[in-house]
Structure 1
């Protein structure tokens, strides 16, 4: 019989604001991470401070924001109204304190609950805030949320506004590194949604004149568009829309009050419905919704009074009301799309004709696929009952109430030995493993039919739950874990080709990674170092005295499960797969995965690197 544990007054603890944030950071900023993923905590810290500056701009105060990101620290300076000088300390260190509770001062802001800067303060080794207004200034400094300096209000000739400096705490964000690609994407989204705003990042200016039209241009090459972008806007709502000539899936970029809602929500669902209804009504035909939406590339932005998000990181809208006496979100969006898009199609019959041809083509392809789809689904269902390829985890990305859902990861491995090591050492709550038989098919130039005909692709699509788009994606991180040899590199390339060909939005939204694994283990009787490069190997040898034992790992299967736990746990190193906007996907795939061409041979010869066999040193 289990022994009863005592539960008394001594067990009850009241944490102050900073202790609670530091003990449960996931409640405030989602996952921690090391900077390799766009939703890692260090970027959420930047966003939380930046949201306040954006809200100032929205309220008509300050048209420029300056950001400096150095190796470990961030500075953000706006030229808004400035925090009221007597409240500089309270605003960044007292819960339930802030201007956002007063809807007169902030009508359609993002940071409604006043937690943002408090979380940044508590999770930073150094946090400073300075406010300038009415020719006066006040400054406060903190360490991990503890006030270390507070100046008196004194005269100042500086321009009004607020300046924040912070350094994320390396005890919480272990071995973090800022990736400028993610910060630039965040900043571009801010300027697309706030035309007229200038953001200067490390001296480089970002500004947008055409709002969501510019955003879509950033995400789809001109030659890939079925027709020029349709751009429609009114007070509190804006949309941009086109179709891709070659992309299979739907692609949505949705925003609320300037906040990128990567998980969608009520507004995105309403928008999808509105586009389908408007197109059906325009053509007077009851087209299937999936045929209307196939290959769509579009963006929607709305402004809502007091939005309700499903988490502190504000990635999914839960609100059904617009506020301010307006109709519901669904009715508001439907009325706008019906009126404006229908009007546009009447005025541009050439665009309407292209959309109709695309729908008819999608319908034809869907009907051709319907038989094979049913067989593939039945096969996937049977396989899922005793699927040896997928060793699933307990938590999934769709579990909105789970703090660790953003840590959910699917490792795609080659062969039984590698998948065995990962399976035995993984975190069964958040890490799943999908095992490949051998080299997957080169899917370049093949139709979607192959995804259903090829058992491995079909089971992978089923495991990820992405057949109808990535809205119901089951894992936040998809990690290709192959050996660092020629065969492993080839498998890596074939998998990236599969995702680029059929599910490019997985890569655009920052879900695909390569797992970095150590090349060497250097150890003596007291210490062990795992080295990911030749330089790290040399450094490790220099740290150890005498002649250490050096092991060269040639494959993942050689690494024992009790060692593998180090490489997929807190110290995991992930290399994100990113798209280069300058090279459209079709050109990229044709060059690297198409028929062997003189151009590719020339590229290989010019970029070939010859490395000496490191085994000689060992």
Structure 2
């Protein structure tokens, strides 16, 4: 008989605050990542520190925040009131310690959970907080959440405020790199939501005078706006609305208490409903909701007391109540638009006329498409039951209660061998594979009709669940996995064209990536190193010294499933596809897919050159 395992008090172990955060970082900051995605942990660390400085601005204390990121070191300095000097250490190292539990002081605060800076502290190899106020200062330094130094100065010439310096711990965030494009986007959102605030990032100044109107001005070019931006403000709500002349899909930027709710929530759903209801009542016509919202580009920000989010990273609002004496979120937004948007349309008859023409045009296009759309949907439904192109995963982006929903990834591959390798080595919980057959159709200049007529595009659209909007997108990361040769580059370009043409918000919201795969394998009897460039190959040969065997991978199909798991696991390398802020989508499409101008040829040759040189040298 087996001996029974004893279960006594000795088996019960309580983790202290920093151990718990380090053991379960996902509970506090979502996914870890390496900085290639805007929702990777290193940006959440920055956001958590910044939120405290933003709250100071909201309380009319300090109009400027300075941020410096040099390599791994991040410094955030505000000129607010400064943390009370006797509590500097506690505020960043004791759970449930903070100034935001008094709802009078921080009624609709950004960072309400009292965990933010503690998580940053615990997940940093170096963390320093310094507060100056009343001519005195106090500071505390930590490593992995453990106090290493403390200092109090009775006299200081430093201006009042708080300065936080941290270095994310490489033991947790592996091979990470801050991308200035993601930081800049985050900071722009902060200034749009806080007109009058100045943020200086590595010398670049961010400032907004007109709030969400400025956000839309920067999002959609003036020559693509159907009518001037409608900008409406209330006590706890602000909205900006226009329609695009060229874009097919709906686009929403939504915020709650300063949080960018990238996955929407109750406020965004209510906003979409309220636009439809107000427009129908204004024209006295029961227009289809999809016709009213087609091509809408808009933003909404609301302030809610004690908001409930569906995840720790606050990307989706779950609250149905505004808090206090206010009605529900839905009623509040609906009543606001019913009054303000209706008044605006009555006062601006030219805008009302343009909007109605747009709705009627959308109605005609929808009716023209209705037959083929129904066929395509039926085909997609049948295919989803036995979709040979899609090998799905178990967790999807909408599964907010599951720990790894932010890791959900769809690999778009070309060819049976590459698809087979990824399928065999993937994580079946979070990684799905969609197989293309040959090169996809060039959709440049074609209408939305082609998405339904072309089987691959229709099935891809169905797999992603983005036909009407990306609110129900099934995968957080859409990864193009093609060979690093001319054909592979062409397939990448054709897929990017598809998304730019029909679903640009997939790129705008940072969901589209290119998979980096190794060009070389360098190994000896003891160790194997995978190299992504000629430089890494030279480093590996030097490191392994002696006789090293060098293999050149000519395509994804040559990499065995056993090896592939290393390239799509925790060490996955992704290049985000980002939009050039200086070019409109129409200009980008014309540049990449238009006639072969000399500029385009030079650009493509220059960007292919690195990989082509490696191929030639091998």
TM-score range, shorter chain: over 0.9
Structure 1, residues 357-396: CA drift from partner, whole Å, max 9, x if none?
A: 1111111111121211111111111111221111111110
The 5 Å alignment of 1:335-374 reads: 335-374=335-374
* 1:323 positional shift: 2.2
Greater alpha carbon shift after TM alignment, 168-177 vs 314-323: 314-323
* TM superposition shift of 1:136: 1.4
Distance 2:226 2:489 in 1: 34
Question: How far did residue 35 of structure 1 move?
Answer: 0.1
Which 5+ residue runs of structure 1 have no aligned equivalent? none
SS at match of 1:93: coil
Structure 1 position 26, deviation (Å): 0.4
- Describe the superposition over 1:26-54 as per-residue Cα deviations: whole angstroms up to 9, x where unpaired: 00000000000000000000000000100
**2-structure distance, mates of 1:85, 1:458:** 60
- Cα distance in 2 for partners of 1:454, 1:298 equals 30
Query: CA 1:613/1:76 → structure 2, altered by over 3 Å: closer, same or farther?
Result: closer
Q: Does 1:33 align with 2:33?
A: yes
The residue number in structure 1 matching 2:427 is: 427
- 1:264-283 → structure 2 map (5 Å cutoff): 264-283=264-283
Report the CA distance between 1:614 and its aligned residue.
5.0
Is contact 2:398-2:405 (8 Å) kept? Answer: yes
Aligned mates of 2:14, 2:611 — CA distance in 1: 59
Please state if 1:200 is matched with 2:209: no
Q: For the residues of structure 1 that align with 2:606 and 2:168, how far apart are their CA atoms?
A: 41
Q: Distance in 2 between matches of 1:193 and 1:307?
A: 17
Q: Secondary structure of 2:170's partner? A: coil
Q: Which 10-residue stretch deviates more, 548-557 or 215-224? A: 215-224
Match of 2:88 in 1: 88
Structure 2: how far apart are the matches of 1:608 and 1:255? Answer: 39
Contact 1:221–1:581 at 8 Å: present in 2 too? no
Deviates more, 1:210-219 or 1:569-578: 210-219
Report the counterpart of residue 47 of structure 1 in structure 2: 47
**Counterparts of 1:318 and 1:417 in 2: how far apart (Å)?**
43
C-alpha separation in 2, matches of 1:609 and 1:43: 32
Q: Match of 2:456?
A: 456
Question: Are residues 127 and 369 of structure 1, via their aligned partners in 2, closer, same or farther at CA, if it must alter by over 3 Å?
Answer: same
The residue that corresponds to 2:190 in the other structure is: 190
CA contact (8 A) 1:247 1:295 kept: yes
Equivalence for 2:122: 122
Residue in structure 1 matched with residue 71 of structure 2 by the alignment: 71
User: Hey, what does 2:108 align to over in structure 1?
Assistant: 108
Closer, same or farther in 2 for the Cα pair 1:567/1:162, shift >3 Å? same
Q: How far apart in 2 are the matches of 1:591 and 1:610?
A: 21
Verify the 8 A CA contact 1:478 1:511 in the aligned structure 2.
Answer: yes
Once the 2 structures are TM-superposed, how far is the Cα of residue 573 of structure 1 from its aligned partner? 0.4
Q: Deviations over 1:134-173 (max 9, x none)?
A: 2211111111011111223522221111110000000000
Q: 1:578 to 1:614 in 2, by over 3 A?
A: closer
Aligned counterpart, 1:472 = 472
Kept in 1, the 8 Å contact 2:484–2:611? The answer is no
**Aligned partners of 1:397 and 1:440: how far apart in 2?**
26
Q: Structure 2 vs 1, CA of residues 606 and 252 (structure 1 numbering), >3 Å: closer, same or farther?
A: closer
Task: Report the CA distance between 1:261 and its aligned residue.
Answer: 0.8
Aligned equivalents of 2:605 and 2:423: distance in 1? Answer: 39
Find out whether 1:517 has 2:527 as its counterpart: no
- Partner residue in 2 for 1:376: 376
8 Å CA contact retained: 2:485, 2:612: no
Name the SS for the 1:403 alignment partner.
Answer: coil
Counterpart Cα distance in 1 of 2:610 and 2:24? 48
Structure 1 residues 553, 465: CA separation in 2 closer, same or farther (over 3 Å shift)? same
- After superposition, residues 541-580 of structure 1 pair within 5 angstroms as 541-580=541-580
Shift of 1:184: 0.3
Q: CA deviation at 1:338?
A: 1.1
CA distance in 1 between partners of 2:383 and 2:412 (Å) = 17
Inter-CA distance 604–147: structure 2 relative to 1 (3 Å threshold) = closer
- Partner SS state of residue 125, structure 1: strand
Relative to structure 1, the CA distance from residue 605 to residue 142 in structure 2 (aligned partners, 3 Å threshold; closer, same or farther) is: closer
Give how far 1:483 is off. Answer: 0.4
Partner of 1:152: 152
Partners of 2:257 and 2:370 in 1: CA distance: 40
